[in-house]
Amino acid sequence: MLNHYPLWKYLLLIVVLIVSSLYALPNVFGEDPALQISHRTRALLEEDRNSIEKILASSSVGVKQVEVSQGKILVRFNNEEAQLVGAEQLKDSLDKNYLVALNLAPATPGWLQSLGAVPMYLGLDLRGGVHFLMEVDMHSAIKRMQDILTSDMRSFLRDKKIRYRGIRKEGEDLFIRFSNQESLEQALSKLKREFPSLTFTEVEGEMQLRATLTEVAIRDEKKAALEQNIITLRNRVNELGVAEPVIQQQGDSRIVVQLPGIQDTATAKKILGATATLEFRMAQGTLNDWVDAKRTGRVPLNALLYEERNGDPVLLSRRIIVTGDQINDAAATIDTDKGVPAVSVRLNSKGAKKMGETTRENVGNPMAVIFIENKVVTEKINGKTVKKRTTTKEVINVSTIRDQFSARFQITGLESTEAHDLALLLRAGSLRAPVEIVEERTIGPSLGKDNIDQGFRSVMIGFVLVLVFMAVYYKTFGMFANIALTFNLIILVAILSMLQATLTLPGIAGIVLTVGMAVDANVLIFERIREEIRNGNSPQASIHAGYEKAFSTITDANVTTLIAAIVLFSLGTGPIKGFAVTLSIGILTSMFTAIVGTRALSNLVYGGKNIKKLSI
C-alpha cells in the first residue's frame, strides 16, 4: 500500500518528540543569579551553609535559596543587584580560604533535574566576562631548558671529576671548554650517555665541545611548556574562584582563557600573566666582599651578584638549593615574632631533602630568597612591533640559618598584597614559560543579555517568516513542513542541552541557518510532488514519487554542507566551532524531521485514501 507507515515508526516519532521536549524544556526556565562558594582545603558542610545564611540575613540581601552540593555551596538570589551585594558581604565576612565566585544557576525544576535535564551552557558572548588569547614565549622555554642543562652538566662533570674550564651559551648552542684533549674525550663519551637531549660535537682546532638541543628535545620542551602552562593557568583560575572557566589550547603556542562573570580585567591579567617564582641560594663571602664586588664589578667565579630591594649588593652561590616548582603549598600569613607579612611554604619531598641537607651543613650561614619575574612586553620601535623579554631578579630576604629545617618554613620581606599574590602563584604553580596577552575582550553582563535577546529575536523572526511562507505557498503540505520545523527546533535544542554544548552568538547563527535549510528539503519534496501531478500521476503516486525521488538530492545537498561543517569544526577556533556544532546537529535533525516527520504527517492525512486532489 502506497504512503503507509507501520505503527512502530509512528511510535518512534512520538518517543523522540516526548524525550526531546523534556530535555529542551530546561531552557525555558532561565537562570538565577548565584554565588558558588568553595573552600581551598576541604568540602563545605551544613554548618558552613548555616554560617553563610546568617551572614546574608544580617545584610538583608534577597536570597532565594542556599544549597550544599558536591562539597560546595550555591546561593541563589532574586536579582543581579542582590547577587553583587551578597558577594561583597561574603568576601568581607569569610576568611581568605573561602572562594566566592559569581555564577548563573539554572532555575530548572527538581523533577526535570532528576531526569538529568539541564539547559545549554551559554558562551562568554552571551553570559558576559573576560576573554584572553595568550601566547606562550617558546624562546624563553628553550632558554630555561638550556640553563637547567648547563647547571646539570656542571654538577655532572664535577661529580665525575672531569676538569673543564667553563661552559658558555652562544645562540642555540652550549660550548664546554677543556684544558687538554684527554679531558675532552673523557667528557664526550660520558656526556653523550647522560644527556640524550643534546647532540655533542667536537669543535675543530679548539679544545671545546659544542652541545646542541635535538629537534625532538625542542619539540618536546615546547609541548611540555604549553601543557604545563595550561595546567598552571587552570590552577590560578581555580584560586581566583571563577565558576565554569574555559581554558584550552589554540594552535601550537597559544592558550584561550575565558572567565565568565569576571569584569575586573586588571586583576585577572595580573594573576594569569604573572610568572613569579622563587629561588633559594646560599650567600657567599662577607658584607665587605659584597660591596667590593658591586664597586669593582669583579665577581668570584662561584658566585653571582644580586641586589636587595633597598639596592644593597649581595653575593650568592651559583648553586640553586630549591626552586618554586618544588613548592607544594603556600599561604599568606603573619610572622608572629616580627609582626610582618609572611608566606608560609611547604616543599615537596625532593625539595625538602635538599633544603634539609643544606640547612644542616650551613647553620650560622646566611641564605637568600630571590624573587624572579619574567615579562614579555610588546613595543613599537620605528613602526615595527618588537617583543622585549625582561627578567627581574631581586633578593627579598637574607636570613641567617639558626637551625636545620626542611619541608616547612616562612619567607618574610614582602608587603601584605605581595605576600598574598605570591602565595597564590606558588600554590597554583609556576608558568614554565612567560605568556603574553595578545588579545583581550571584556563583555559586560548587560551586553550578554542584549546578545541573548537579539539572537532569540533573530531566530523567531526567521522562524515565523518561514512558517508564513510555507503555509501560504504550499497550503496543507506547508503546514506539515511547519509542524516538522517546530519539532526540528525542539530536537536541536534538546540535543545541544544533552551534550552540554556551549551556545555562542555564532551558534545562534547556525540555528538560524538550520531553520532555512530545514525547509529547503521540504521545498525539494513538494516541488517534486507538484511536478509528478503535472505529469498526470495520481495524488498517491505523486506523494510517493516526491519523497522517493527527492531523497538523493536532499542527501547530496546536506552531506556536502555537513562535510563543510566538520572541516570548520576541525580547523576553526572557538566561535567557528560553535557555529559548526549547531550547523552539524541542525543538518541531521532537519533531515530527520523533513523526510521522516513530514512523510509521517502526509501518510497520516492522505495514506490509504482515495483522493482526487492534493492541497499543495
Of 289, 280, 278, the residue nearest 313 (C-alpha): 289
Whether domain 7-26+444-606 has CATH 2.40.50.140: the reply is: no
41 pLDDT tier (thresholds 50, 70, 90): low
pLDDT for position 494: 92
Query: What's the rounded Cα separation, in Å, for the pair 510 and 13?
Result: 25
Query: What's the rounded Cα separation, in Å, for the pair 431 and 374?
Result: 10
Higher pLDDT, 465 or 335: 465
Mean pLDDT for 343-356 is: 86
Provide the CA 18 distance to its chain's centre, in angstroms: 36
Lowest mean pLDDT among 147-161, 263-277, 501-515: 263-277
Q: Work out the number of other CB atoms within 10 angstroms of the CB of residue 295.
A: 9
Please report which helix (H) or strand (E) contains residue 316, including its range: strand 313-323
Cα-only R_g, the chain? 34
CB 104 within 8 A of CB 34: yes
pLDDT for position 73: 87
CATH for the stretch 31-106:
3.30.70.260
C-alpha count within 13 angstroms, C-beta hemisphere, residue 51: 12
Q: Return mean pLDDT, the chain.
A: 82
In single-letter form, the type of residue at position 577 comes to K
pLDDT for position 169: 85
Report pLDDT digits (tens) over 105-117: 788 888 888 888 8
Report pLDDT digits (tens) over 43-78: 788 888 888 888 888 777 778 888 888 788 888 888
Query: What's the rounded Cα separation, in Å, for the pair 55 and 57?
Result: 6
Q: Evaluate if residue 390 carries a pLDDT over 80.
A: no
Mean pLDDT for 79-84 is: 82
Report pLDDT digits (tens) over 597-611: 888 888 888 877 777
Please report which helix (H) or strand (E) contains residue 481, including its range: helix 445-498
pLDDT for position 576: 80
Report pLDDT digits (tens) over 399-450: 888 888 888 888 777 777 777 777 776 776 667 777 888 888 777 666 667 7
Q: Evaluate if residue 198 carries a pLDDT over 70.
A: yes
- Which architecture characterizes domain 138-218 according to CATH? 2-Layer Sandwich (3.30)
CB 247 within 8 A of CB 257: yes
pLDDT for position 315: 93
CB 65 within 8 A of CB 76: yes
pLDDT for position 574: 64
Report pLDDT digits (tens) over 282-317: 998 888 889 999 989 888 888 899 988 788 899 999
**H, E, C per residue of 37-91:** EEECCCCCCHHHHHHHHHHHHHCCCCEEEEEEECCEEEEEECCHHHHHHHHHHHH
pLDDT for position 264: 60
Q: Evaluate if residue 133 carries a pLDDT over 70.
A: yes
Please report which helix (H) or strand (E) contains residue 566, including its range: helix 539-571
pLDDT for position 129: 77
Angle between helices 215-240 and 265-273 (to 10 degrees): 140
CB 117 within 8 A of CB 25: yes
504 pLDDT tier (thresholds 50, 70, 90): confident
Query: In degrees rounded to 5, what are phi and psi of residue 408?
Result: -125, 135
Query: What's the rounded Cα separation, in Å, for the pair 277 and 316?
Result: 17
pLDDT for position 477: 87
Q: Which residues are CB-contacts of 604 (< 8 A; sequence separation ≥ 6)?
A: 5, 10
pLDDT for position 40: 66
Q: Work out the number of other CB atoms within 10 angstroms of the CB of residue 183.
A: 17
Query: What's the rounded Cα separation, in Å, for the pair 468 and 462?
Result: 10
- Angle CA(178)–CA(179)–CA(181) in degrees, nearest 5? 80
Of 95, 93, 100, 45, the residue nearest 67 (C-alpha): 45
Higher pLDDT, 605 or 96: 605
CB 261 within 8 A of CB 102: yes
**Lookup: cell for 608:** 490509504
pLDDT for position 87: 84
380 pLDDT tier (thresholds 50, 70, 90): low
Query: What's the rounded Cα separation, in Å, for the pair 482 and 40?
Result: 53
Mean pLDDT for 366-383 is: 75
Q: Evaluate if residue 340 carries a pLDDT over 70.
A: yes
Q: Evaluate if residue 592 carries a pLDDT over 70.
A: yes
CB 5 within 8 A of CB 589: no
Domain boundaries, the chain: 7-26+444-606, 31-106, 138-218, 274-441
pLDDT for position 102: 74
Query: What's the rounded Cα separation, in Å, for the pair 466 and 484?
Result: 12
Mean pLDDT for 136-140 is: 86
pLDDT for position 342: 82
Q: Quick one: fold of 274-441? A: Gyrase A; domain 2 (3.30.1360)
Report pLDDT digits (tens) over 6-32: 888 889 889 999 999 999 998 888 778
Mean pLDDT for 86-99 is: 81
